[in-house]
Structure 1
Amino acid sequence: MTLAKRLLLGSAAAVVATTGAQAADLGLPVAPAVDYVQICSIGSFTGFILPGSDVCFDISGFARAQADFGVANTGSYYDYDDVDFSSEVELNFDARTMTEWGLLRGFIRLGESDEGEDYNLDVVKAFVQIGGFTAGLTDSFFDPVYTDYAMAGIGAPDGGTDDLTLFGYSYAVGNGVTLMASVEDNDGNGRFGGIAAVDPVAGNIYQGGAAVAVGTAFTTGAGTTINNIQDTENGLAFVAAIRVDQAWGSAKLAGAITEVDIDNSTLAALNAAMGSTVTDDTELGWAISASAEFNLPVGVDSEFGIFGIYTDGAVSYAGVGTGITAPGASAAWADLSLDAVVDTTTGNLQTTEAWALGAGVEFGLNAMTDLEIDGYYADVDHGDAIGAVGDYNVWAVRSSIAYRPVSGLELRAGVGYTDYDVNSALDPYFDSGFTGRFRVTRSF
């Protein structure tokens, strides 16, 4: 800096200081000091602090447009070519503060997808964390560390779950090892597979008010259809897990215990309509999973993931789930992803066994482009009561490629194939075939 500039700046500073002092002496108003928004960091989390607050806050989300292409190739009832346009939005609000009890965090996620009709933001996540304690609507502690890399919705389901409300605690043992335990609410979040009544003699599955496969719909005397007969009002699950995070990646072993119970009021309607004598029964449902994700020393941020899940009386923990729409004016349906079935001839409640395997790779071609490939297989066995009427297996492969030409913008295209093998006359009504998707996402 030249001497002239130094003298000029020094003179200006002196004038400003003198003017402020004179204004104060004369009783004139002086502009208050400006309190600016500040940048903050807590660990790897970076946010901002608003004036007058000590909370490190961040807002993120995305806006998305999507086109789905579906081509079903089994059965005339599902013989269609379909194209659907939809949009999706997500907003995340994350607030963190360090306290003497550890990190205090509050997180809210609002999101919704729509196909051009009503559009309302729903609460997707809402939880509080203090130290190792977590309470609220969030991911299940059972969830594997890997579920999928390619776009969900193209191909088969995976090992992931819907968000649910839980109270849980995580304890960091050290060296990247964490012990986890939680009590979770399975009601209304897709964790219940349901219970159906089965007449093995006629070969009928009674659910959704209809006898599917053969037979006709039935109702109670008041004309009310008989739906799922599972009691979900007190549906709690107890989950325990151990997780390891190292430089090579992550691994997790998790288990869950829940209850499979018949709803008494629906059971009475079932017996009245069927002339059966099914009694109240309760069984134990459980699930166990092992999963791992490995960092690959090739490409850019490449990873390989794998999971295995086995369930008994808790089929949705395996990630399977499908509905069958039987032909007819009433559009009767049955869901063969059941936690249990009731034999109307014997009254026995039999839990469903299911297992699933999944693996995938995400390969970073460069800093802007990556390729994802996933494979999935699951087998569902409903036991002797349902027999050949409803047992099935499903396998799928799917792939997608993502391109990010500029920061915050992603273009992604994917295709998947799903195949169901059903041991019954319902096989033509499973929606097997190819699906495709193109997606544009602006993240912030």
Structure 2
Amino acid sequence: MKMVKGLFLGSAAALVAMSGAQAADLPLKAKAVEYVKVCSIYGAGFYYIPGTDTCIKLGGYLRADATLYGSSNYNAPAWNGAAGAKSRLANNTIMYMRQDINIDTRTATEYGVVRTYFDATFNWGSGGASGGSTGIASGSLGVYYAFIQFAGFTFGKAVSQFDTPWTGYPGNNTSFLIGGYDDVTGINQVSYTAQFGNGVSAAISLEDQSAYLQSGLYNTSSITTLGYSQGLLGTNSYAGTSIPDIVGQLRVDQAWGLFQLSAAAHQVRASYYNTALETSGHPSDTWGYAVQGAISLKNLPTGPGDSINFTATYANGASRYVIGGVTGNSFAIFGNSGTAYQSIAFASAADGVFAGTDVSNGTGITKSTAWGVRGAFNHNWNPYWSTSVFGSYSSLSYGSTGRALVCATAVGFGCNPDFNIAQVGTVTRWTPVKNLTLSAEVMYTYLDQSNTGALAIPANATIAKPAATYELKDQGVWSGNLRVQRVF
């Protein structure tokens, strides 16, 4: 019995061992592979993020620019600094490269689509705002857009509700076609947009004015001859922000084109009569405003894809809504003269001016008025070639009170800080293959300043100009740009 029992137990143990070995040799059950699926509901290029119901799209472009006879990257006219002085200190040819990356995510919810959008640029330039030795590999990083949209609300950095869908580009490549609002790099905001159907919408927004919407608020008591010739009307005395700009928009966007009305309220708030001493007091705060009408016409008889984009803008105490974007607040262009050492045209765009050293002699703020028109006609010759003709006209006035404050100490010339700027240009694009475009652009800018006579200006070592008498004369400058861009 003992032998039989031993054989039975031994056989059982062997069977258990064999079954265990066979089980160990069996393959484990693999997890299901989650393939990336196309998300067609939001258009081409969207895919579901594996394991989620969120769709994502990656895009961007790479751009190479060569600016000819401009003052900085992106074909800025030579209208100030060393370029405006036409001295050997200026870079007359500038190379500029940009890589743009954008990420768009969307998720359907019971409240509608939740969307996030991020757009960043890596820039390398041989001169101007993106040149220099700081930043990433002697370049710079820019965040154009970063916002969340949910249930009609927009939170973050996005195109202003005041602006048009084409922002500062009705048909141009250059970022310096003024005459209307331009915040192509986005502006921080909290906004709500209501959709009424059939392409009709309305929006209300609170927008940060500190980055792009404050030009100058000058205390003219500190004005100097050298400063005036550089477009400075004294000490810039804008205070910190207290209330964001309040913006409203009404838009009709349909197959025939677009019509839009926009309005903005803009607080004008000075620091102190003496910027280094709070006990000197300050002028009372005031409010400026801006209004804009815009129209875009499509389906033109000139050809498929042709369009006309046009805006008209008026501002009171809010000059950046007319002369804004990346444009500076001051202009100074030198030229030849038959009666003096050289000629010069200069101007300053400011929201307002005041004067005084303290509350005993200080004045209130006198606001400027500005208006501008800007537009373009865009024509497709065939699927590969297209041309745009664009232009603008801008005008800024300080009124009789403002002119008196600016010119209170002017002697020996006809002082008048009012000015106009006219621009006209054209760009032709060749698209040999889809999403690859080569373009050439040229633009003429004319500064019509209102000062007359001649002015003795002290030496300015920054732009290598000697102390001399300069004829006050209108000036014009040409600028040009060559571009290659690949969109993906």
Q: What whole-Å deviation, never above 9, does each CA across 1:198-222 have from its counterpart, x for those lacking one?
A: 24xxxx7369xx74249xx99xxxx
> Hey, what does 2:254 align to over in structure 1?
246
Q: What whole-Å deviation, never above 9, does each CA across 1:299-350 have from its counterpart, x for those lacking one?
A: 23111111100000000001355423599xxxxxx97110001133752310
Partners in 2 of 1:262 and 1:427 — Cα distance? Answer: 34
Q: Counterparts in 2 of 1:323-402, with a 5 A limit?
A: 323-324=330-331, 336-344=348-356, 347-387=363-403, 388-402=415-429
> Hey, what does 2:143 align to over in structure 1?
123
Partners in 1 of 2:48 and 2:370 — Cα distance? Answer: 49
Q: What whole-Å deviation, never above 9, does each CA across 1:385-433 have from its counterpart, x for those lacking one?
A: 4424321000100110111111221101100000011112598698731
The 3 A distance-change label for structure 1 pair 48 and 229 is: same
> Hey, what does 1:53 align to over in structure 2?
52
Partners in 2 of 1:361 and 1:51 — Cα distance? Answer: 44
> Hey, what does 1:183 align to over in structure 2?
206
Partners in 1 of 2:196 and 2:65 — Cα distance? Answer: 43
The 3 A distance-change label for structure 1 pair 268 and 67 is: closer
Partners in 2 of 1:141 and 1:398 — Cα distance? Answer: 27
The 3 A distance-change label for structure 1 pair 205 and 227 is: closer
The 3 A distance-change label for structure 1 pair 268 and 37 is: closer
1:417 aligns with 2:458: no
> Hey, what does 2:286 align to over in structure 1?
283
The 3 A distance-change label for structure 1 pair 431 and 61 is: farther
Structure 1 SS opposite 2:99 = strand
Counterpart residue type for residue 331 of structure 2: I
Aligned partners of 1:391 and 1:422 also within 8 Å: yes
1:168 aligns with 2:191: yes
Unaligned runs of 5+ in 1: 1-22, 219-225, 328-333
TM-score (norm 2): 0.73
Structure 2 SS opposite 1:57 = strand
The structure 1 residue matched to 2:109, chosen from 99, 113, 118, is 99
Q: What whole-Å deviation, never above 9, does each CA across 1:136-171 have from its counterpart, x for those lacking one?
A: 001110013454211124655643225210000010
**Which stretch shifts more, 421-430 or 399-408?**
421-430
CA shift, 1:355, in A, is 0.3
Partners in 2 of 1:360 and 1:336 — Cα distance? Answer: 26
The 3 A distance-change label for structure 1 pair 383 and 198 is: farther
Partners in 2 of 1:428 and 1:89 — Cα distance? Answer: 42
Counterpart residue type for residue 97 of structure 1: T
Structure 2 SS opposite 1:142 = coil
Partners in 2 of 1:85 and 1:252 — Cα distance? Answer: 37
The 3 A distance-change label for structure 1 pair 438 and 211 is: closer
Q: Counterparts in 2 of 1:85-234, with a 5 A limit?
A: 85-116=95-126, 117=132, 118-146=138-166, 147=168, 148-153=170-175, 156=178, 158-161=180-183, 162-188=185-211, 190-199=212-221, 205=223, 211-213=227-229, 227-234=235-242
Structure 1 SS opposite 2:140 = coil
Partners in 1 of 2:425 and 2:140 — Cα distance? Answer: 30
Structure 2 SS opposite 1:399 = strand
Greater Rg by CA: 2
TM-score (norm 1): 0.80
Aligned partners of 1:421 and 1:427 also within 8 Å: no
The 3 A distance-change label for structure 1 pair 159 and 184 is: closer
Aligned partners of 1:177 and 1:245 also within 8 Å: yes
Q: How many residues align?
A: 395
Partners in 2 of 1:143 and 1:76 — Cα distance? Answer: 29
The 3 A distance-change label for structure 1 pair 278 and 364 is: same
Partners in 2 of 1:25 and 1:250 — Cα distance? Answer: 70
Partners in 1 of 2:320 and 2:240 — Cα distance? Answer: 14
Q: CA RMSD in A?
A: 3.2
Partners in 2 of 1:336 and 1:420 — Cα distance? Answer: 11
Q: Counterparts in 2 of 1:9-20, with a 5 A limit?
A: none
Structure 2 SS opposite 1:432 = strand
Q: Counterparts in 2 of 1:56-71, with a 5 A limit?
A: 56-70=55-69
Structure 1: 4+ residue segments shifted above 6 A: 23-26, 73-76
Indicate the percent of aligned positions where both proteins have the same amino acid. 25
Aligned partners of 1:77 and 1:429 also within 8 Å: no
CA shift, 1:233, in A, is 2.7
Aligned partners of 2:374 and 2:393 also within 8 Å: yes
> Hey, what does 2:477 align to over in structure 1?
433
CA shift, 1:371, in A, is 0.7
Structure with higher strand content: 1
Aligned partners of 2:79 and 2:331 also within 8 Å: no
The 3 A distance-change label for structure 1 pair 325 and 359 is: closer
Partners in 2 of 1:92 and 1:352 — Cα distance? Answer: 38
Q: What whole-Å deviation, never above 9, does each CA across 1:70-95 have from its counterpart, x for those lacking one?
A: 16599993356811111112110000
Partners in 1 of 2:29 and 2:475 — Cα distance? Answer: 73
Aligned partners of 2:177 and 2:391 also within 8 Å: no
The 3 A distance-change label for structure 1 pair 350 and 385 is: same
Partners in 2 of 1:77 and 1:106 — Cα distance? Answer: 45
Partners in 1 of 2:245 and 2:282 — Cα distance? Answer: 24
The 3 A distance-change label for structure 1 pair 289 and 76 is: closer
Partners in 2 of 1:30 and 1:174 — Cα distance? Answer: 52
